[in-house]
Amino acid sequence: MPFLETLSFDAVDAPSHADALTRLRADALQAIVIRKVLTSDECLAITTELADNRQGFPTTSFPAPFRSHFYGMNLNLADPDLRAYFEMAPGFTRSLGDLMTPRGGFEGRILGLLSRLDGGRRYGPPVLPDGRPYMVTTLRSHHEGGFIPPHFDNEQRNRPSYRHLDGLVEGDIFSFVLTLSKAERGGMLEVFDARADAWSGRFQNRDRASRKPDLSHFARHAFDVEAGTIVILRSGRFLHQVTPVEGSRLRWTACSFMARARSGDGVYCWG
């Protein structure tokens, strides 16, 4: 039996899968693959604009060894006081609107699709008490040699930058990756048969070196998908990584973390 129960379908068939994300959040599914969310022509046009940063996105970087950068800011990497994060958020939101409004809008094309797969629950960014919203996603560019090491997303909630958000959400973190351009080789989302309840403590990121288990002992599944495809994963529970990018073509993705709102009125998404 596969360790990762996966549902795959084309975006046009979403009405036939109105409970797909409800099932994923309940752990009846562990991954969902939705093809043709964007067309190949749309992805080519989007990545051409992103490469030139025509919309003037604010830019931040992964740690240098990961050879990657963001448009927007990853909450995991933000200073705990979040001042810089929320100073950047309005500009990022404007730029995302400039990029996606001619293509149906990020809310309509992406968040609206997620909502339709979860019984109509609202998907959107968390908001501070003063009304300022979080960045709903990040756009990520992985260069040659770029990668993300093995991790569980549930660990994020232990970070100081999550102090406010942790009070708004409950349950496991899950996430989506929308591929905008593939690497020539590598750069795949790879998931291991290792659950957080058994293995999280052995893979936590620490400031000091620590010996990690040998990944060759775990079964794995790599998602090798075309541009325009979304992969949704129970990433809080399953160990996963992005394999090193090979070749000069950039791997562009849009990525959001998600969790159920404690208020019960929807699901929060953030970058």
What confidence score (pLDDT) does residue 211 get? 67
In a domain, 50, yes or no: yes
Residue 230's DSSP bridge partners are 34, 178
Rounded Cα–Cα distance for residues 156 and 184 (Å) = 30
Tally the domains of the chain: 1
Please write the tens of the pLDDT for every residue from 108-159: 999 999 999 999 999 999 999 999 999 999 999 999 999 999 999 999 999 9
Residue whose tokens read 């994020």: 156
What confidence score (pLDDT) does residue 212 get? 72
Residue 195's DSSP bridge partners are 238
Q: Are 82 and 164 in contact (CB under 8 A)?
A: yes
The pLDDT of 30-57, averaged and rounded, is 98
CA–CA distances in Å: residue 125 to residues 93, 132, 144, 183, 253: 11, 10, 31, 29, 18
In a domain, 205, yes or no: yes
| 209 burial type by CB count under 10 A (0-12 exposed, 13-18 middle, 19+ buried) | exposed
Indicate the length of the chain as a whole number. Answer: 271
In a domain, 1, yes or no: no
**Residue 127 DSSP class:** B
What confidence score (pLDDT) does residue 31 get? 98
Rounded Cα–Cα distance for residues 77 and 161 (Å) = 8
In a domain, 65, yes or no: yes
Q: State the pairing for strand pair 238-242/138-142.
A: unpaired
What confidence score (pLDDT) does residue 204 get? 64
Answer yes or no: is pLDDT of 182 > 70. yes
Rounded Cα–Cα distance for residues 6 and 8 (Å) = 7
**Residue 175 DSSP class:** E
What confidence score (pLDDT) does residue 207 get? 43
Q: State the pairing for strand pair 59-61/68-71.
A: antiparallel
Write down the pTM of the prediction.
0.94
Angle between helices 40-52 and 83-100 (to 10 degrees): 130
Domain harbouring 44, CATH code: 2.60.120.620
Closest CA to 195 of 255, 243, 235: 235
At residue 198 the predicted structure's pLDDT band, cuts being 50, 70 and 90, is confident
In a domain, 230, yes or no: yes
Please write the tens of the pLDDT for every residue from 256-267: 999 999 998 899
Residue 70's DSSP bridge partners are 60, 140
Domain membership of residue 123 as a residue range: 6-270
What confidence score (pLDDT) does residue 202 get? 67
Quick one: tokens of 240?
């996963």
In a domain, 60, yes or no: yes
What confidence score (pLDDT) does residue 1 get? 66
At residue 208 the predicted structure's pLDDT band, cuts being 50, 70 and 90, is very low
The half-sphere exposure of 66 on its side-chain side, counting CA atoms within 13 A, is 17
